[in-house]
Amino acid sequence: MELGGQEFRILAEAVGMRGRGHFVVLAVQPHSQIAVQARAAGIPVELVRMGCGRILPLVSQFQRIIETYRIDVVNTHGSLDSWVASVAARWSSVKPAIVRTRHKSTPIVRSWRHYILYRMLPHAVVTTGEAIRTHLIRDHGIHPDHVVSIPTGVDVSLFSPNQALSIRMDHEATPSDFVVGTVSFLRDYKGLNILIAAAQQVVAVYPHVKFWIIGEGPERSQLEQMITEFGLQHHVVLCGFQTEIPRWLSRVDVFVMPSTGAEGIPQALTQALAMERPVVASSVGGIPEVVEHGITGLLVPPNDPDSLAKALLLLLRDSVLRKTLGRAGRQRVVEELSMTRMLEKTEELYYRLLEVRGTESSRTPPAITMTSMGD
């Protein structure tokens, strides 16, 4: 299992909450990258082999974990683990507060299953953007007090334009090249095919522009084929999975997020904003919550390579606009989307749930978090 935005959020929250004095244990798939990263960060891990064919054993295993660690808050992030961990929490003698975190902005089908999953089992639902929260309230009748939007936070000291960072120029970019970059798990809804189509139009006008697509995923072979068919081998580079994202962003002149759907507020987008990179992004999901057109970035319609190319060319030609958008973008992140703010809002929710439920804990602070994920 690869690391995507959901997994990075889980890890960041686990490390951050531990730093605030909470005990945290992650229940994750065996052999998953999140298990490796959690152990490296010193977070206790319980290995749970998720599978739809073993529901009752999973419920029993989660109940054991909850009661062994005396968990006060169960926070679930996937579909299957939300079912089994929530049921286990309801059945356990500990009776922890249950939080369901919803990351994607894809519409949720109205059904009895989702009624149970979002309205009956959890005591609160966390969304990673206001657009997702609005969908749950408007289309699924969830009470507004039951849903809270907590966007994924950014470490604004790590993702800072003041850091003198650079990467080795080994990806076909020279100091004189203009670099358009994106950081993304290579999924179909990330719109990377739209980016490549737009790149063809941009390099026809400015041949010195390079495009970096940083990340890995199942769409890599299709993207490679498209790059070859468009004759863009010397202009579009699939850079693969990278760990030192601030270094890569430091070399990017414009950041682009061409998603076609399923987005909350993408972490790579807010990280780029924190680095004062001017951004061009499609107006889907929670993206317009942080990219205000003409203020903190440029918005374009999804699935529209012509509009995307036009916006990129505008920024390529206008260095003053790039600087203005970049500075405003960082200010927005520092004020509203920092990692500290995310942890504060999460902690506030946990304490409120425990207070409402009259839960008392022998630990200080009392909110003990178990973040589980599956699928």
Is residue 197's pLDDT more than 90? yes
pLDDT-derived band of residue 362, with 50, 70 and 90 as boundaries? Answer: very low
For residue 172, the model assigns a pLDDT of 59
Lowest mean pLDDT among 39-43, 104-108, 258-262: 104-108
The mean pLDDT value for 234-248 works out to 93
Helix (H, G, I), strand (E, B) or coil at 357: helix
What DSSP assignment string belongs to 280-337? EEES-TTGGGT--BTTTBEEE-TT-HHHHHHHHHHHHH-HHHHHHHHHHHHHHHHHHS
For residue 370, the model assigns a pLDDT of 63
The mean pLDDT value for 268-280 works out to 97
Q: How far apart are CA 50 and CA 53, in angstroms?
A: 9
pLDDT-derived band of residue 294, with 50, 70 and 90 as boundaries? Answer: very high
Is residue 320's pLDDT more than 60? yes
Is residue 194's pLDDT more than 70? yes
**46-100 pLDDT, tens per residue?**
999 887 767 888 999 999 999 999 999 999 988 888 999 999 999 999 899 999 9
pLDDT-derived band of residue 112, with 50, 70 and 90 as boundaries? Answer: confident
**For the chain, what is the mean pLDDT?**
90
Q: Which domains, from first to last, does the chain contain?
A: 5-153+338-372 (3.40.50.2000), 178-336 (3.40.50.2000)
Omega of the bond leading into 365 within 30 degrees of 0 (cis): yes
Residue 232: how many other CB atoms lie within 10 Å: 17
pLDDT-derived band of residue 106, with 50, 70 and 90 as boundaries? Answer: confident
For residue 263, the model assigns a pLDDT of 82
Phi and psi, residue 98, nearest 5°: -115, 125
